[in-house]
Structure 1
Amino acid sequence: MTNPESGERGERIAKYLARAGVASRRDAERMIESGRVALNGTKVLHPATFVAAGDIILIDGSPVGEPSRTRLWRYHKRAGLLTTHRDPEGRPTIFERMPPELPRVVSVGRLDLNSEGLLLLTNDGALARQLELPTTGWLRRYRVRVHGTVDPARLAALKGGIVVDGVRYGPISAEIDSTKGSNSWLAVGLNEGKNREIRKVMAALGLETTRLIRIAYGPFQLGNLPRGAVAEVNPKVLREQLPKVGR
């Protein structure tokens, strides 16, 4: 075990667990706080503990394997599924519908229960956290169907951000694709994506969101991936788009 105060710094244990696909870094820190993690036979007491080559990590008494090569998948989420591993109310989750050959994965961000479209999955929790950060600069693009009268000027004003119920939302690009009666399809793009951001912003404009489909997350596209399908991103493409990704 490497002392957090020593100069022999390996890799922080929470990051190591995230790369190993055990959980997100934040969830790994919670595991440590609850006393579930041991390193070389000693319970880990601090998330700043470092892991060195050859160290043995146990979670609830079960050994954790070494992190494998970082992998990324595109997944076409259906509406009606939660983006979580467990739901206290017993509602269906995306992880219950994954192919059995898929390793343990975490999602890059979330899509809410009624939203659909592209969701990125990875076996590297540290990468998931990195890609969720607004500083990554990746644009998330959506097709959004709304009910109500759309004011193009108010849509255009969203490029300057908007405050809804005391919450500040960053710049949003939104344009009308088509309109039929009181229903319109919008092309929406944003870089951050707070909880239910598009739905809340549209409601503030007097519009009800009746369908929300994510079609792109940065350079990765939904394309013609069928609903419920999972497709791995080619390792060469992953290295090109994320040159600093692990192994």
Structure 2
Amino acid sequence: MEERLQKVLAKAGMASRRHAEELITGGKVKVNGKVVTELGTKVDAYKDKIQVNGKPIPPPEKKVYLLLNKPRGYVTTLSDERGRKTVIDLLEGVEQRVYPVGRLDYDSEGLLLLTNDGELTQALTHPKHQVKKTYLARVEGVPEPEKLQAMTKGLQLEDGPTAPAEVKIAGIQDDRALLQISIHEGRNRQVRRMCEHIGHRVLRLRRVRMGPLELDNLKPGEFRPLTKQELRELMTLAGLQLNVKDLQAAVNVPSPKPGRRKTVNVVTAKNKNARDEKPSFKPGAKGLHKGKSTVVTKNKNKRDEKASYNPGEKGLHKGKAGSFTTQKRKPRSI
């Protein structure tokens, strides 16, 4: 995909957008061996040879888009001064430096998007796009209809009025209501504060949807890459154009035992026959998922067994069902 030259230079970390423009007009930039001084020149970072002061710019970093089911007891930051576990600790084997899009507080759980696509992150968190986020909140007691209606109209919190929310009771158990709440704002602990404002403290909070993304059957602590369809819908929501070349094709997940390593190949836009599958894996789990078939060495004591994954049968992965069967490896003839 072609982009303006100054934007490509800025994304490559060569300079700020403004300084990149100065480099171009100053004759410091070459494209395919020719000096380019015109601002707005379109280039393809993957195809064109671009040099600044005679040195080639680094190749574009492949973009990674991960959907994580955040458990309780993790902070949504890259590090924590109090030594608490972070969501990054769950991304075993992901070599790219990714960042959370939005946040979930320490005691909350559920859907969290992580990526190294700064442009997408900025777009999704900008108020003008009003990305809807849906939560399930277990609260003390059962709110009266009047209280729920007040939430749908907006509440006056200490940091200002909230935008209208979508609220309904999804269930009641032991005199504790399960509320389904959808909002497009992203204030700190907003759902908890809204519930407390109407007199019903939140006992458990879980985000289950963000825009077109849903948790489905992803277990706490598990993560998976976005499908092509999910990414296309997300880019449309953010007003951006999807660049298929930016997709990351595989994530390497190291084995918990030293000296052994497993590779989990995930489905992206590059796999046209399985692009809408939603593979998931748990860091450190035994086995690997590779496209449509998998060969797994279960452990050191059973090196002569291998398990194969057969799509189309009942199994663990949602999207394309499958099952694991075990076969004895035939002894090698001498």
Superposition TM-score tier, normalisation by shorter sequence: 0.7 to 0.9
Structure 1 equivalent of residue 194 of structure 2: 201
1:116 paired with 2:112, answer: no
Q: How many residues align?
A: 208
- Residue 172 in 1 paired to residue 168 in 2? no
> What is the TM-score of this pair, normalised by structure 1?
0.74
**What is the Cα deviation at residue 72 of structure 1?**
1.5
Please list, as runs of the form range in 1=range in 2, the aligned pairs for 1:16-35 lying within 5 A after superposition: 16=11
* Distance of 1:102 and 1:65 partners within structure 2: 17
- The reply on whether 1:10 has 2:6 as its aligned counterpart is yes
Report the residue type matching 1:54 in the other structure: Q
Point out the more displaced range, 141-150 or 231-240: 231-240
1:149 to partner: Cα distance: 4.0
Q: What is the one-letter code of the residue matched to 2:160?
A: V
SS in 2 for 1:193: coil
Asked if the contact 2:212–2:233 (Cα under 8 Å) also holds between the matched residues in 1, the reply is no
The 1-side partners of 2:79 and 2:205 are apart by 23
Deviation at 1:199, TM superposition (A): 0.6
Map of 2:19 onto structure 1 = 49
Q: CA deviation at 1:49?
A: 3.0
Give the structure 2 partner of residue 23 of structure 1.
Answer: none
Q: Provide the residue aligned with 2:183 in structure 1.
A: 190
State whether residues 141 and 214 of structure 1, in contact with CA within 8 Å, keep that contact through their aligned partners in structure 2. Answer: yes
Q: CA RMSD in A?
A: 2.7
Q: CA deviation at 1:66?
A: 3.7
Equivalent residue of 1:50, what SS? helix
Aligned counterparts of 2:191 and 2:230: Cα–Cα separation in 1: 29
CA displacement, residues 101-140 of structure 1 (integer Å, 9 cap, x when unaligned)? 3421111100000000000111212211211123223211
1:155 maps to what in 2? 148
Q: Which has more radius of gyration? A: 2
Aligned partners of 2:206 and 2:20: how far apart in 1?
Answer: 41
Aligned-partner SS, 1:54: strand
Letter of the 1:109 counterpart: G
Alignment of 1:60-139 (within 5 A): 65-139=58-132
Q: Determine which structure has greater relative contact order: mean sequence separation of CA pairs < 8 Å that are 6+ residues apart, divided by chain length.
A: 1
Q: Which runs of 5+ in 2 are unaligned?
A: 22-28, 30-49, 247-334
Matches of 2:106 and 2:19 in 1, distance apart?
37
